[in-house]
Amino acid sequence: MIIKNFDLQKINLVDYNFFLFYGENEGLKEDIINRLFLNSAEIIKRYDENEILEKKDDVISSILNKSFFNKSEIIVISRVSEKILKFIDDIVDKQISEVKIILKSNILAKKSSLRAFFEKEKNLVCVPFYSDEKQTLAKIALSFFKDKSVSISQESINELVDICHGDRKNLENELGKVEIYTNDKKKISIEEIKKLTNIGENFSVSELTDSCLSKNFERTIKILNENYYTIDDCILIIRSLLSKSRRLLSLKSKYDNSKNLDSEISSHKPPIFWKEKKIVKKQVLSWELDEIEKLIININNIEVLIKKNSNNAINIIYDFILNTGKKINN
């Protein structure tokens, strides 16, 4: 059955064991998981879909043979796709009253068999997580600075919200940077906000990621050759690439259903600036849905790799950008 995220606290969660959380708002998903599920769980296990698929039988056995003395267990499986459906189908009718399984996915098309399965079954809970409204994010940011007793202008709040693309997880990341800086400060200026959050980013970063997602290999090489990127820029590039890839996934999913790309771009939230519409349209037409999903997984993996190998970050990001801009990741 379909439940709106703000209605989850109104139902008796004890009555349900399987949940599908899908959509682009990763921050809100984690907020609800932490607030409504994890605080009361004795055992918490987190997996990626690939881990489950690789040892499916072992995981199922562990769930079915759970110790009587373990009162509650939460299993969160991230980055799920249609492939996880067989795993769910194998255990959905089993007696696992003390185990709750939460599946996390990005955008799922209406034709998704996984989404359809959760929507039609009354004992399963399907929850869409759409982008936060700017007003919601602004309230979160204002509350953060109020709690810290830090004075900040509305203009600075608006700048923070604009770069978060409707995802409170992005906002939390940016506020985390600001929190370190404002340890002993009572006021923060918009110039400081821009510096801390990379709002005033080098235009070439945005141009680089746009060129990469447009699969314009020659232009991508040209941009890389004409700019000197630092180690700090590598994270900025990855975040820009991830943000635009998520937008691309959303648009591609909707376009595959409606077949009206101009309409989807015009109605997209957050709004796409008119100067971007032409290149965004090209990007949507350059990728298949499953390819974008693979790309997002690869981007997340590359960010982890960069953080573990900071001394070689520039080479890692260059190789990844070139491979992505040249051809689809296999």
The CATH number linked to 302 is: 1.20.272.10
Say if residue 271 is preceded by a cis peptide, omega within 30 of 0. no
Q: Are residues 52 and 163 in the same domain?
A: no
Q: Are residues 106 and 145 in the same domain?
A: no
**Does position 186 have pLDDT exceeding 90, yes or no?**
no
The pLDDT assigned to 160 comes to 85
Among 105, 128, 151, residue at a domain's last position: 128
pLDDT in tens, 76-125: 999 899 999 999 999 998 878 789 999 999 888 889 999 999 999 999 99
The pLDDT assigned to 38 comes to 85
Q: Are residues 138 and 236 in the same domain?
A: no
The pLDDT assigned to 203 comes to 45
Q: Bridge-partner residues for 2, per DSSP? A: 126
Average per-residue pLDDT for the chain: 86
How far, CA to CA in Å, does 86 sit from each of 45, 82, 90, 101, 132? 20, 8, 6, 14, 32
Comparing CA positions, the residue from 249, 247, 243, 242 lying closest to residue 287 is: 249
Q: Are residues 49 and 87 in the same domain?
A: yes
Q: How many helices (H) and strands (E) does the chain have?
A: 16, 5
Does residue 18 sit in helix, strand or coil? strand
Banded pLDDT at 202 (limits 50, 70, 90): very low
Question: Where is 118: in which H helix or E strand?
Answer: helix 113-120
- CATH number at 175 reads 1.10.8.60
Which tokens is 280 given? 């965004």
The dihedral sign for the CA sequence 152, 155, 161, 162: negative
pLDDT in tens, 131-173: 888 889 999 999 999 988 889 999 889 888 887 777 787 788 7
Among 71, 100, 128, residue at a domain's last position: 128
Pairwise CA distance, residues 284 & 28, whole Å: 26
- Judge whether 295 and 283 are in contact, CB under 8 Å: no
Q: Are residues 190 and 250 in the same domain?
A: no
Q: Are residues 210 and 307 in the same domain?
A: yes
Q: Are residues 246 and 318 in the same domain?
A: yes
Q: Are residues 112 and 149 in the same domain?
A: no
Pairwise CA distance, residues 143 & 147, whole Å: 6
Show Cβ contacts of residue 82 under 8 Å, excluding neighbours closer than 6 positions. 112, 113, 114
Q: Are residues 64 and 152 in the same domain?
A: no
pLDDT in tens, 205-235: 778 899 999 999 888 888 887 676 777 778 8
Among 128, 155, 183, residue at a domain's last position: 128
- CATH number at 109 reads 3.40.50.300
What average pLDDT does range 304-316 have in this prediction? 87
**Which amino acid type is present at position 282?**
K
Pairwise CA distance, residues 16 & 61, whole Å: 20
What average pLDDT does range 47-74 have in this prediction? 83
- Does the pTM surpass 0.95? The reply is no
Beta strands in the chain (DSSP E): 18-22, 43-48, 73-78, 99-105, 124-128
Q: Are residues 39 and 103 in the same domain?
A: yes
The dihedral sign for the CA sequence 46, 47, 48, 49: negative
* Residue 10: domain span: 5-128
Beta strands in 66-123 (DSSP E): 73-78, 99-105
Domains identified in the chain, total number: 3
Q: Are residues 158 and 57 in the same domain?
A: no
**Does position 296 have pLDDT exceeding 90, yes or no?**
yes
Q: Are residues 19 and 108 in the same domain?
A: yes
